Structure 1
Amino acid sequence: MTVSDGLLMIWDKELGSREDDSDEEGKGTNRVNIEIVYGYDRPEEVRVLFEEYTNMLVANDPSFQEYLDLQNYEEETGHLKEKYGMPEGRLYLLYCDGVIAGCIGLRKIDDGSCEMKRLYIRPEFRGRKLSEFLLETLIQDAREIGYKNMLLDTLPFLQSAIHLYQKYGFYEIESYNNSPMDTSIYMKLDL
């Protein structure tokens, strides 16, 4: 990975296999071009991904809408730099072969703690380990910023995300954010 003009690039990477990713000769062809870019100057693309993400959450748990209202979610996309701005935060968009595929955010909680937000991969891009690229990038950034731990909250139906977090060393903790969602799962990674 290299950083150049706000663009983190991973070129021509081999990703996890999918049944529909084979060429005519039957050889696996899982090579794609991945670009990870800062999302601050692309608010419309961020808004679309955030909306897909929150619609998925509300569809699976309608009570999540109350939590979004408390977070003042509607204003979030209008103030991306304030919520996720550098040097203490990050907001990334991921493109797969030039098509927007996912996002992730990082925000400061206090001098030692940050929070991962809005990890989302569009359904048609899942199963290719793209969330791992985003998560690894964010963890590396959090360490470079100087955070001691990364927190997140998630919901029980997001089992694949929970397994991903555990794979990277996150473990369950008590609530850290006064969420009204009594079903939320809170996790922490020691950086």
Structure 2
Amino acid sequence: MINIISFNSSLAKNFRDLNLEWLEQFFKVEPKDKLLLEDCESEIIDKGGFIFFALMDESVVGCFALIKVSETVFELGKMAVDPTYQGNNIGQQLLVYTLNFCKKMKCEKLMLYSHIKLKAAIHIYRKYGFIEVPLEAETPYNRSNIKMVLSFN
């Protein structure tokens, strides 16, 4: 069983390291990644966003961010699960937490950018109601080849 907690600056290194691990495994770290991961407090929290962590036996095993786009729209980003703990539905638990949090915050829309080779992640997003929408001409990440949105209305 996991416990999900809010951002604490002492966990910023965990946020960075968990995300660097999957980015380096599947893609390459892009300038936008570096910006968000190296200074997550000023780039996400101080701009009205949120970061959460999944704890198991006091160890950080996962994380995600809600990056503020507008007052009622957030980007789900930087979701990562420690490879040692993958296969334990931690990603799904984080996503369920995200959706409940967004509903309480009266969000209208949650969006995300991903890549179709992350098949398990895309499957989970679809399972929870995200639908594919056209990508903008200029996406925040070069690796993105899919954009998905979940509307709460």
Q: Is contact 2:19–2:79 with CA below 8 Å preserved after alignment?
A: no
Structure 2 counterparts to residues 108-119 of structure 1, below 5 A: 108-119=68-79
Q: Could you tell me how far apart the structure 1 residues matched to 2:40 and 2:8 are? A: 6
Q: Is contact 1:156–1:185 with CA below 8 Å preserved after alignment?
A: yes
- State the Cα distance separating 1:87 from its structure 2 match: 8.7
User: Match of 1:153, as an amino acid?
Assistant: Y
The answer on 1:168 being equivalent to 2:128 is: yes
Give the corresponding residue for 1:93.
53
Percent sequence identity over aligned pairs: 20
CA RMSD of superposed structures (Å): 2.2
Give 5+ residue unaligned stretches, structure 2: none
TM-score, structure 2 as length reference: 0.85
- State the Cα distance separating 1:86 from its structure 2 match: 6.9
Q: Could you tell me how far apart the structure 2 residues matched to 1:53 and 1:105 are? A: 15
User: Match of 1:38, as an amino acid?
Assistant: S
Q: Aligned in 2, Cα 1:117/1:169: closer, same or farther, shift over 3 Å?
A: same
- State the Cα distance separating 1:183 from its structure 2 match: 5.6
- Identify the match of residue 23 of structure 2 among 49, 54, 58: 54
Structure 2 counterparts to residues 43-82 of structure 1, below 5 A: 43-58=12-27, 64-65=28-29, 68-69=30-31, 71=32, 73-82=33-42
Structure 1 range deviating more: 108-117 or 176-185: 176-185
Q: Could you tell me how far apart the structure 1 residues matched to 2:106 and 2:118 are? A: 29
Give the corresponding residue for 1:155.
115
Q: Could you tell me how far apart the structure 2 residues matched to 1:140 and 1:76 are? A: 24
Give 5+ residue unaligned stretches, structure 1: 1-31, 59-63
The answer on 1:39 being equivalent to 2:10 is: no
- State the Cα distance separating 1:90 from its structure 2 match: 1.3
Larger Rg: 1
Q: Could you tell me how far apart the structure 2 residues matched to 1:102 and 1:83 are? A: 19
SS state at 1:103 partner: strand
- State the Cα distance separating 1:76 from its structure 2 match: 2.0
Structure with higher helix content: 2
TM-score, structure 1 as length reference: 0.70
Number of residue pairs aligned between Structure 1 and Structure 2 = 150
Q: Is contact 1:38–1:93 with CA below 8 Å preserved after alignment?
A: yes
The answer on 1:125 being equivalent to 2:85 is: yes
Structure 1 runs of 4+ with >3 Å offset: 180-183
